[in-house]
Structure 1
């Protein structure tokens, strides 16, 4: 019997989520050789459209050469949040190497979606905001700015969240932002991915950014992989506002089966299995 479809609610478990050590980044992906250069980004960010979108350039280092340690970059302010656009310089720059490493986490998804090889521009909040980078207003401001910037960039292929390994086509990401404008929490479909385990279970990717724990679906819940991912994303969406889970809980699924969630022995995971 495959995991049931439908909505259910997880009670609040207490605990506050803390961000990971690395600043979370949104990637704007382009086909190889089509990534915009400093001149294109300069024109877009200083143009009337960006100002109309509420995006202001507070620092412009787009003319720094690739041999500089920092490489070219912009500091932006959108929705009262300071952020940085990086990774579009020469491959020698530390930012370009960082983007390459982040891009590697979405390569498999890109290949599966038929995008082929992609190059990325990286948008993240400024380092002084790192401790609050995953707060909903800050995260929404970051993604909203990315969507608005991307709307003015030719050849944009997709948006990606490296923590989850998930990428969305521009139209899909735009719909995500429209939906988020009326929702209190971010969409688990973009920020939480799932990978297969050797025992045929599945483990989330990216949930720990919000809750300090990843979700593990035990093999009995993964008879159908697509159904299991949908179930996992529903559970993740309920876990995000909870923070860290410290006590086991049981819930009735729409098909009357019992789903049990409990922290793993080392506290790094929330295990989900049939009760």
Structure 2
């Protein structure tokens, strides 16, 4: 269903002369029509989920990196522990990798371990209310 929706949105964005961009409200992401069409085409051709369209990232007051928009797909947002956010670029890549996994598999209901791209062990733990997945060193 999502693929069909995005296909129609991509076609509309290029056919409407006045359209200058596309917004994914759940994440607050706004991108140009051309960039949106490229993301959708890449997803359809290569299977690469446009995760940075569906979930934006921001730092919270404690220095953790949080998603905005993941809950649209899983009912949960993601929070990367401040100790893992030293390199913002690497932390963003890690967050988007986890976002992609959660979108494909669904909500996390119990604590799990994962291996980060650098080989370190991560612990993913849903909060008691189930609305956030906390990611820290495992």
With the length of structure 2 as denominator, give the TM-score of the two structures. 0.91
CA contact (8 A) 1:185 1:241 kept: no
The number of residue pairs the alignment matches comes to 138
Q: 1:206 aligned to 2:69? A: yes
Which residue does 1:226 correspond to in 2?
Answer: 89
Q: RMSD of the alignment, in Å?
A: 1.6
CA contact (8 A) 2:94 2:116 kept: no
Q: What residue ranges of structure 1 are gaps of 5+ in the alignment?
A: 1-137
The Cα shift of 1:197 comes to 0.6
Which residue does 2:59 correspond to in 1?
Answer: 196
Q: Higher Cα Rg: structure 1 or 2?
A: 1
The Cα shift of 1:265 comes to 2.1
Residue in structure 2 matching 1:252, options 115, 122, 125: 115
Give the 3 Å change call, closer, same or farther, for CA 186–255 of structure 1 in structure 2: closer
CA contact (8 A) 1:253 1:259 kept: yes
Which residue does 2:131 correspond to in 1?
Answer: 268
Greater length-normalized contact order (CA 8 Å, ≥ 6 residues apart): 1
Which residue does 2:98 correspond to in 1?
Answer: 235
With the length of structure 1 as denominator, give the TM-score of the two structures. 0.47
CA contact (8 A) 2:42 2:48 kept: no
Residue in structure 2 matching 1:173, options 30, 36, 40: 36
Structure 1 runs (4+) deviating above 6 angstroms are none
Provide, for residues 89-125 of structure 1, a one-character-per-residue CA deviation record: whole Å limited to 9, x for no partner.
xxxxxxxxxxxxxxxxxxxxxxxxxxxxxxxxxxxxx
The Cα shift of 1:182 comes to 3.1
Which residue does 1:153 correspond to in 2?
Answer: 16
Question: Greater helix percent: which structure?
Answer: 2
Give the 3 Å change call, closer, same or farther, for CA 254–226 of structure 1 in structure 2: closer
Provide, for residues 196-228 of structure 1, a one-character-per-residue CA deviation record: whole Å limited to 9, x for no partner.
210000211111111111111110121122322
SS in 1 for 2:136: strand
- Alpha-carbon distance between aligned partners in 2 of 1:244 and 1:255, rounded to the nearest angstrom: 24
Q: What residue ranges of structure 2 are gaps of 5+ in the alignment?
A: none
Which residue does 2:7 correspond to in 1?
Answer: 144
